[in-house]
Structure 1
Amino acid sequence: MRLQEIMSIVKEYFLLALIAVMVLGFIFFLGYFIVYRKLLGGKRRLSRKHLLLGGLFTGYVIMVIGVTFLNRDSSYPGGINVSFLSSYREAWYSFSVRNWQFVYLNIFMFVPFGILFPLLHTRFQKTVWTIGIAALFTLSIECVQLITGYGVFEVDDLINNLLGAIIGYGIIMGSITIRKKGIKRSFVYFSPLLLVVILSGSMFAYYYLKDFGNLSIMPNYKINMENTTITIDVQLDDHRRKVPVYKAPGYTKGSADEFVTDFFKRMNIDAMNKEVISYPDEGVYWIRDEISYNIWFRFLDGSYSYSDFSSFDEDKELKDVDEETLKENLAKFGIDVPQDSLFQKVDTGIYEWTLDKKVIENQLIDGSLTVDYYNDDTVKRLDNHLITYNKVKDVQIKSEQEAYKEILDGKFKYYPENNMIETLHIDKVEVSYYLDSKGYYQPVYAFHSTVDGREMTIFISGL
């Protein structure tokens, strides 16, 4: 999710909260000043400070409810996840901005609760009140999400929300304590915030200093394999061996922009006024003119998808053609199909080349290239995942037996019902490769299997 999208959501529900507070404030005005003060003769007065804090807190609660419920519909995949710290493991293994956003936004979302609630009344400055009410509030949100299906009941969300409330409570109480008792006495209140900053900084520093990235195929939690019937057709080796690690031709936003500009120039398309929508891991490039064009470019490995939207014109139809004509057309895009690529027709006018981990000296070529050919003798769509990786170095990987042991322990990524598998049959095992979060093509073991009657490949990290 881009920062602009987050700010758009915040703005939308800030306006909703503002309108709701104004309406509720008017109702409160009628009830307090007209009914309570005038008609009933009530003497109790409310200070402007308490009215302001009450309005802020009410608006904040409305914003939280809006973000957690109104931002979704009933088609949102509900469910329950009681696996402790699974969201942290998912964010770590994928190391995507999107997953880390979910973790930290769930923390930051409850920081205002911890700040505002103690200011409503001195009674709420006691830890048990603020943290207790925060726990009940976030538990209520998770329970309603579970019941309505407008979200997932997650233990991690409870923990993160509560941590945010503790941080907010520490900030406000630490600030109050500094004025009254000095910095030393306030340290205990600021310690939750300092701890989160130190742990986060250490974790990110460790990630950027280590040789390779993380693999998204790693499991967020273990699968219960106690009652699983396991059969295997292959003899597993118990010796470790050395295999290469490769690196994808990764791109920065700047180099990706240059690639896309050159791509359009080859097509004689003016790219000066191209529209760029940048995400952390990819960019979307638009040319909006009489004919619109689009490129979706992935920074990590340089793969991309291209669309010429004139394909939607009434007179345009997919057309069959021979391989050589296709290659001539692809040359205009600067694409040279590697030798030994397997060519096949997918459907009328739709063709694909695939190459399975072909090693040429210190390079490995892997992936697929799909093209759509039309009756005006042009390629109007292509999806290029045919990547050339460069060798980095040889590394020792675990044995097949060690990788198989991880399967027996349930340490692989799969989401069975009730977290249990009845039958697992392994047909074949081989060393394959998987792109990590830093753009390295890491060796993994691919166990070609049948799980509960369904064919799938189980990947286990080789490192």
Structure 2
Amino acid sequence: MDIQGILGALLPLLPKVIIIALVLLGVTFFFYVLYRKRGGKRKFSVTQFTAGYLLIMWFGLVMMLTTFSRGENFEGWVNFRLFSGYLSAWNQWSLSELQLIIFNMMMFMPLGFLLPLLSIRTRRFTPVLVISLIVTIGIELTQVLSKRGIFELDDILHNTLGSIAGYLIMQAILNSVNQRKLDFKSTGLALCIPIAFVLLFTGALAVYQAKELGNLSIRPAIKQNMDGVEVNIATKLPEKAEPVSLYVNHRIYNLEYGKHITALIQPSFHLQQKQGKRVDGMNRIWSFTDNNSNSYTFNYNVQDGVWQLYNASGEEVKLTKEELTTQREFYEKWMLDNDMLPADTVFSIQNEDTLRWDIQKSVGAVAKDEKDFADGMIMIIPSADDQQAPRDLFDAMNKNEYVRKVDVISPAQAYAYILQGDFYMYNHLKKGDVLTVEKYELAYNYDSKGYYQPVYRFTGKVNKEQWETLVPAMSIS
């Protein structure tokens, strides 16, 4: 989820949180009045009441966003691997992962920002640090105990850093107000955390740009703990491997390609864009309407280059064979004119309403050949009028350009990564599990720069359940 999606989730919660905070503030004020009438001497300023109210509202928003808005889908999930979020963002080269790291810090900035306004004691660093740790650990424990989230050390780190950043900003403001001029020392301290992360992300970008190849999302952010896991091999693994071909696809991780397609379909199908682009994980999403006010969604997946234009209504239209033939001619001409349809595709009709073009190439041929090739499919469900947008246009046709031959590790060397737990698996292995590797094969996977890299696919079983993972075939650096 990107920042826009997070804000979209926050806005519906805001009215409820405001009401709850007002009720709690009213109850607090009522007891405070009683306290004062009975001779209580301690006074609270408007600033303290305001800070308290805002903290209550902030805490309610955080709890609803991180815990109560989720289903009970996580059972006992914990992640004690520090910086695993950074590894995940690096492997996927994902803006969304990066935004989540930043958001986790920004989410706790109000805590550190407001605590110094509550009392003299909370103007010191140590109490703010302790309170921040207690709050974030409490939230993480609530998530894991309620099965509504994962207990992650990364979250505790980022939440605490965010609170400290907020505290340093408030200290800079208070010191500057007291001195009636900018306090350079406290202002410099307030800038330390933002500058550190700017340098971190800038350094990562510089390293990434200096590399020829991109990052593989199949790489694990967290290694498997193989202690107590029995690993068996039921196939022979060669000790040597011949060089294979490397390719590149310029529509992978290329937002300009997505923009190019949206610019192409608008005049072709008489569509008008409704709003700006949205981000949902690896998907970039645009919304359109046609001349009849029908809504269409365009989705471009940066990770595999696949894009789809579809009508959300799902209305079915029956077409005759003659109409389908006419539609085929129209769409084939449109795709050929725009260099979207390879010449050697195989055409077929599915379900009496879907036009389909396929082209397939074996992995063996891909690894051996030294020439460009296309692979994939295009499926179109036409509308009744060939001048309107189709009901569904799904383009998974990839054009790969040959780069060069590359050396690869052997299957036996790749298997060593399995033994070390250096592979991705959604449900992590645990003590007592039995992993049996039954087969292996050479495959290909796109990296974050569009290179079609060779990988090994291992398949087998974990405790009699089907299992599969991918391991890079080129040396892991």
TM-score normalised per structure 1: 0.83
Contact 1:236 1:401 in 2 (8 A): yes
**Aligned partner of 1:111 among 104, 109, 116:** 109
Q: Which residue matches 1:102?
A: 100
Unaligned runs of 5+ in 2: none
**Aligned partner of 2:418 among 365, 383, 407:** 407
Q: 1:125: how far off?
A: 3.1
String of CA shifts for 1:12-44, please: whole Å, max 9, x gaps: 4444443333333333333223x2233x24333
In structure 2, give the amino acid aligned to 1:109.
Answer: M
Q: Which residue matches 1:162?
A: 160
2 CA distance for matches of 1:388 and 1:229? Answer: 39
Q: 1:252 to 1:415 in 2, by over 3 A?
A: closer
Q: Secondary structure, in 3 states, of the residue corresponding to 1:110?
A: helix
**Aligned partner of 1:80 among 77, 87, 100:** 77
2 CA distance for matches of 1:242 and 1:309? Answer: 43
String of CA shifts for 1:220-248, please: whole Å, max 9, x gaps: 21223353232142332335735323133
Q: 1:301: how far off?
A: 5.5
Q: 1:103: how far off?
A: 1.7
In structure 1, give the amino acid aligned to 2:258.
Answer: A
Q: 1:323 to 1:410 in 2, by over 3 A?
A: farther
Matched, 1:426 2:428: no
String of CA shifts for 1:199-232, please: whole Å, max 9, x gaps: 2332233223322221111112122335323214
Contact 2:3 2:99 in 1 (8 A): no
Q: Which residue matches 2:360?
A: 355
2 CA distance for matches of 1:92 and 1:232? Answer: 34
Q: 1:119: how far off?
A: 2.9
Report 1:227-266 matches (<5 A). 227-239=229-241, 241=243, 243-250=245-252, 256-266=258-268
2 CA distance for matches of 1:343 and 1:448? Answer: 32
Q: State the identity %.
A: 25
2 CA distance for matches of 1:286 and 1:303? Answer: 18
Q: 1:305: how far off?
A: 1.5
Report 1:46-445 matches (<5 A). 46-70=44-68, 72-74=69-71, 76-77=73-74, 79-84=76-81, 85-173=83-171, 183=184, 191-226=192-227, 227-239=229-241, 241=243, 243-250=245-252, 256-266=258-268, 269-271=269-271, 273-280=272-279, 281-288=283-290, 289=292, 291-299=294-302, 302-308=305-311, 312-313=315-316, 316-317=317-318, 328=329, 330-334=331-335, 337-338=341-342, 341=345, 349-350=353-354, 353-356=358-361, 362-372=371-381, 380-416=391-427, 418-419=429-430, 421-430=433-442, 432-445=443-456
2 CA distance for matches of 1:47 and 1:374? Answer: 67
Q: Which residue matches 1:25?
A: 25
String of CA shifts for 1:78-98, please: whole Å, max 9, x gaps: 541224132222222112222
Q: 1:2 to 1:102 in 2, by over 3 A?
A: closer
2 CA distance for matches of 1:75 and 1:352? Answer: 42
Unaligned runs of 5+ in 1: none
Q: 1:447: how far off?
A: 2.8
**440-449 or 87-96, which deviates more:** 440-449
Q: Secondary structure, in 3 states, of the residue corresponding to 1:397?
A: coil
Q: Secondary structure, in 3 states, of the residue corresponding to 2:77?
A: strand
Q: 1:170 to 1:337 in 2, by over 3 A?
A: same
Q: 1:195 to 1:297 in 2, by over 3 A?
A: closer
Q: Secondary structure, in 3 states, of the residue corresponding to 1:433?
A: strand
Matched, 1:459 2:470: yes
The number of aligned residues is 454
TM-score normalised per structure 2: 0.80
Q: 1:338 to 1:455 in 2, by over 3 A?
A: farther
2 CA distance for matches of 1:410 and 1:192? Answer: 34
Contact 1:145 1:152 in 2 (8 A): yes
Q: 1:185: how far off?
A: 7.8
Q: 1:166: how far off?
A: 2.6
Contact 1:230 1:424 in 2 (8 A): yes
Contact 1:245 1:443 in 2 (8 A): no
Q: 1:183: how far off?
A: 4.4
Q: 1:231 to 1:94 in 2, by over 3 A?
A: same
1 CA distance for matches of 2:162 and 2:142? Answer: 20
Q: Secondary structure, in 3 states, of the residue corresponding to 2:18?
A: helix
Q: Secondary structure, in 3 states, of the residue corresponding to 1:428?
A: strand
Say what the alpha-carbon RMSD is for the aligned residues.
Answer: 3.7
Q: 1:412: how far off?
A: 0.9
In structure 2, give the amino acid aligned to 1:425.
Answer: V
**376-385 or 180-189, which deviates more:** 180-189
String of CA shifts for 1:279-320, please: whole Å, max 9, x gaps: 34523242242554443233566422133567614xx34888
Q: 1:418 to 1:392 in 2, by over 3 A?
A: closer
Q: 1:433: how far off?
A: 1.9
Q: Secondary structure, in 3 states, of the residue corresponding to 1:385?
A: strand
Q: 1:399: how far off?
A: 3.3
Q: 1:55: how far off?
A: 2.3
Contact 1:37 1:43 in 2 (8 A): yes
1 CA distance for matches of 2:244 and 2:318? Answer: 50
Contact 1:320 1:373 in 2 (8 A): no
Q: 1:411: how far off?
A: 0.8
2 CA distance for matches of 1:209 and 1:295? Answer: 33
